[in-house]
Structure 1
Amino acid sequence: MPPLVFIDGDQGTTGLQIRARLAGRRDLRLLSLPEAERKQPERRAQALNDCDIAILCLPDDAAREAAAWVRRPGVRLIDASSAHRTDPGWTYGLPELCPGQAARIAASPRISNPGCYPTGALALLRPLVDAGLLPADHPVSIHAVSGYSGRGRAGIEAHEAPAAGEPAPPPFQLYGLALAHKHVAEIQQHAGLRERPFFVPAYGAFRQGIVLTVPLHLRLLPAGTTVAALHAALQARYAATPRVQVLPPAEAAALAHLDPTALNGSDDLRLAVLANPAHGQVLLAAVFDNLGKGAAGAAVQNLDLLLHGA
């Protein structure tokens, strides 16, 4: 009999997307609670212990609580919240993070889905740190703009169904101005950085999609580091990874702009190394769908690893 999968929080933005992706699949069964029981702790706890795999699409505190409710050995968890992303007892759910990570996910009972912004940041940074091209104590700055769905249901409603009398959201807004965003620790840990990176996120007036960039000065990198070496390190890491595309140097050089919506509706991640060699400046860039590879797509990717192996 196919494994039984329970989505705890299947009416939120990510949960609805995951449910839609799993509808009609024959390699699993979905366990659903009636609407009247979705917020009953005892019914949720029972479902969590009746299933084979649970996907937690909950706020952080609720995800910690739900994970603690699991008592039956053999129940495997995928947590889409940020509650366990730096917890050593959970496997970090970015299969492309480093060699062997997909196999570690496939064998793990507890997987923490990566955040949307960290997915792009880590895809750019971790290979360069591993290759010795980006020192672990480098002062890294990360700038990213997401569609308003990154705020979840509140962001979608504010833009698409505002309450009467509510002011229209601004077309662009920076946030996390206290430089204490919860993604910072996640990025630092899984990129292998010793120094805390700057992370400056923003929302734009478009529904979904992300552009994330990391500026670098070649003179601050190890002697002899070139634009070609940075590109080669990314290309080598992702050569056999179908979901991650590294733009060839000529295509990257021909870009006039980056469209955050370019990969909407897909689970792909597109990386580029942009440069001004005359001034020794490099811009690492990632484009992807915050609801795809950045959320629901990543959860389903990890679910497939649990179901079918690496």
Structure 2
Amino acid sequence: MSLPTIFIDGDQGTTGLLIHDHLRDRADLELLTLAAAERKDPRRREEAINECDIAILCLPDAAAREAVGFIRNPDVRVLDASSAHRTHSEWVYGFPEMTHGHAQRIAQARRVTNPGCYPTGAIALLRPLVEAGLLPRDYPVTVYATSGYSGGGKAAIEAHESSDIPIVALSQVYGLALEHKHTPEIQGYAGLAHRPFFVPAYGAYRQGIVLTVPVELRLLASGVDGVRLRACLAHHYANVRHVKVMSLADTKAMTHLDPQTLNGTNDLQLGVFANPDHSQVLLSAVFDNLGKGASGAVVQNLDLMLSV
């Protein structure tokens, strides 16, 4: 029996290169690659995408839509790492741990859209709490997140690492027009009634994300506190491999969150920091924007798609 053929369209970008590194030595699949001169040839790309079993798209949004338009072979399945299809109703959202049974939906899907890096952390924190009724759907959610500068892609990496300007001076809060493309994704998959306030930033380091969501307990139902919020998250992720919820003892002992803690992994660490005296809770997520936030999630979803 022949091995499944995987074609990475856009394998020279940051995410594509990492996915290629993950897959190139695997004996259970065959990678279809194009010569350098063919990578931007629409005809050759169209041929390749129709010859493969699963196409992984690591492209800008417009190019990803173009690539999907190339498909004539009904047997070709697609895993899109761009944001082109993330809120499209006909695509399955590629966050396996999001809800019970969702990993099986991904495994059986013809079209899977990989989550954005920031939404991965935000949805992981918010969706279980909203589904459990602990966080109202109309809660005024604010998401603060800082990513390594690699989140800006290959051009951003080159700009930071080749610049004469000290990297620390290139740290920035951005998205000040409040139109960041990840915001509808967060709202939709977290189950929020209203658009969340999303404040992203790039830090003075290459990769890793720390994301936080502040919660005012006075706006929640009576009796909801940090213990219940943490218990809800721990129950939701009790039997999954890549998402871990810190104990309240661990969070109480922590004085800072290091966004680089899980770099090089496909893991996501969630925390609940509570101050009962002030009736405030801080939800946190730490993960690698190039791992669980990008290439690691793609490989996880690919393995699910190959499992059926």
Do the structures match in fold with TM over 0.5?
A: yes
1:8 maps onto 2:9 in alignment: yes
Offset at residue 167 of structure 1 (A): 4.6
Structure 1 stretches of at least 4 aligned residues deviating more than 4 Å after TM superposition: 166-169
1:300 maps onto 2:295 in alignment: no
Identity within the alignment, %:
62
Quote the residue 1:255 is aligned against.
254
CA–CA separation in structure 2 for the residues paired with 1:307 and 1:113: 16
Amino acid at match of 2:49: L
**Is the 2:160–2:170 Cα contact (8 Å) retained in structure 1?**
no
Amino acid at match of 1:145: T
**SS at 2:277 equivalent:** helix
Offset at residue 275 of structure 1 (A): 1.1
CA–CA separation in structure 2 for the residues paired with 1:88 and 1:111: 11
Quote the residue 1:95 is aligned against.
96
Quote the residue 1:180 is aligned against.
179
CA–CA separation in structure 2 for the residues paired with 1:72 and 1:260: 42
CA–CA separation in structure 1 for the residues paired with 2:46 and 2:165: 40
Quote the residue 2:63 is aligned against.
62
**Is the 1:63–1:79 Cα contact (8 Å) retained in structure 2?**
yes
Amino acid at match of 1:285: S
CA–CA separation in structure 2 for the residues paired with 1:67 and 1:186: 20
1:288 maps onto 2:248 in alignment: no
**Is the 1:158–1:168 Cα contact (8 Å) retained in structure 2?**
no
**Where in structure 2 are the equivalents of 1:189-208 lying within 5 Å?**
189-208=188-207
1:141 maps onto 2:145 in alignment: no
1:124 maps onto 2:120 in alignment: no
Quote the residue 1:153 is aligned against.
154
CA–CA separation in structure 1 for the residues paired with 2:230 and 2:260: 23
How many pairs are equivalent? Answer: 306
CA–CA separation in structure 1 for the residues paired with 2:228 and 2:166: 46
**Is the 1:93–1:114 Cα contact (8 Å) retained in structure 2?**
yes
Offset at residue 223 of structure 1 (A): 2.1
Residues 158-211 of structure 1: CA deviation (Å, up to 9, x unaligned): 11123xxx6555242000001110000000000010110000000011000000
CA–CA separation in structure 2 for the residues paired with 1:113 and 1:185: 15
Amino acid at match of 1:93: G
Amino acid at match of 2:205: F
CA–CA separation in structure 2 for the residues paired with 1:76 and 1:148: 31
CA–CA separation in structure 1 for the residues paired with 2:43 and 2:98: 37
Q: TM-score, normalised by structure 1?
A: 0.97
Offset at residue 226 of structure 1 (A): 1.4
Calculate the aligned-residue CA RMSD, in Å.
Answer: 0.9
**SS at 2:135 equivalent:** coil
Amino acid at match of 1:137: D
Residues 124-154 of structure 1: CA deviation (Å, up to 9, x unaligned): 0000001000111110000000000000011
**Where in structure 2 are the equivalents of 1:97-112 lying within 5 Å?**
97-112=98-113
CA–CA separation in structure 1 for the residues paired with 2:111 and 2:17: 22
CA–CA separation in structure 2 for the residues paired with 1:40 and 1:260: 39
**SS at 1:18 equivalent:** helix
CA–CA separation in structure 2 for the residues paired with 1:50 and 1:62: 19
**SS at 1:216 equivalent:** strand
CA–CA separation in structure 1 for the residues paired with 2:132 and 2:170: 39
